[in-house]
Structure 1
């Protein structure tokens, strides 16, 4: 179901899985005109999470879960940031200057929040709330991808990173174990920490005690449809087994 700033997958009846893809597209809405980045920059990780949309849709199809995917570039506004985060609208990213964002003032920032950011998050809330309304506890699984190397930084060795809050590991811990048993190089809260206050997972899952995990796949592994299908196939059986655990069907309560 496409919208101006997000698309959704309904999910099978009775599902408890909500998949999110905050950076599913590198599209810049027509009303913004030319944002000033080259085609090469718009194709790389600064504009979207390469391959993440395909993995998300592959998982939704295999697992029967609902999904919400952003259809606006993270360069326009980043759904995986709190509204007061200084990187919500970036003027420079991985050494690339974004000319179209230089003049973004408070009014334009607020307009982009209302036009692109708030509707996406409202759609995620609607999927989560629909499961809760049935008296069940949803699991929120976020799909992202990361670049093998940032400019001027060392190469990243991980093939997949599992991000979590270090407290509720009901999905993250067994998922890391399962992937490592298959021989993958797995990052535990790498290449990023799993807690940024007010980010998408914090907002939709962590603050509500819902089982959750953020999965980062290295984007050279999912840059084409074959890689995206392969990784959806790798992840789906592990997630299915983990989500079937009764402990994952409850809200988290700290000891």
Structure 2
């Protein structure tokens, strides 16, 4: 699908499945895109990808040639990394640590050309994907705000109402810490965490925006979609590499 198709799909809250990439390994990223995910996210915040790695990763996703689109989780809610990711050809950005509606508006403005925003006009690769007309580029660009802090959870309704925001995206590890977990998988806060997950999905639905979440497996992704999430990302390349290598070693050693 095109970037515009993907943006329209999220805005219509149609179920979408993606994958998470942390490694600067374009041939592997291309293989992942070839698997048929709707989108692949390149992690520019916690991943091992610099600006060149993000560009190469987006090229690899495009090389798959099957309509998978590339998104970038940028390093910060700042116009420079947001603009750089979009100029490199990303179909959209996932913006971390959005605590307020004002934070969400700042992310939207960074991803939109004037008069809708403050993005500097220099489309480079983006111009090959979505054309040089600013209004058309804006319509084809996805902006997703991460809900991963206590303040973000408290302000989720106002964040979802931010004009121009395509949707929200749950960072479950940080969110579990935000609701009192001692570590990212702390089972002692399961009830509180599950309540927060349900609240976020309901709030996004009421606002008419997409709600996404990171998951650990295909099974969990399917469950979250059935619970009202619009899109779900499955695990990551590094986690799967370690898990598969360990499983084969276990078989060999009996």
What is the TM-score normalised by the length of structure 2? 0.29
The structure with the greater share of residues assigned to helix is 2
Q: Which has the higher contact order (CA 8 A, sep 6+)?
A: 1
What is the TM-score normalised by the length of structure 1? 0.29
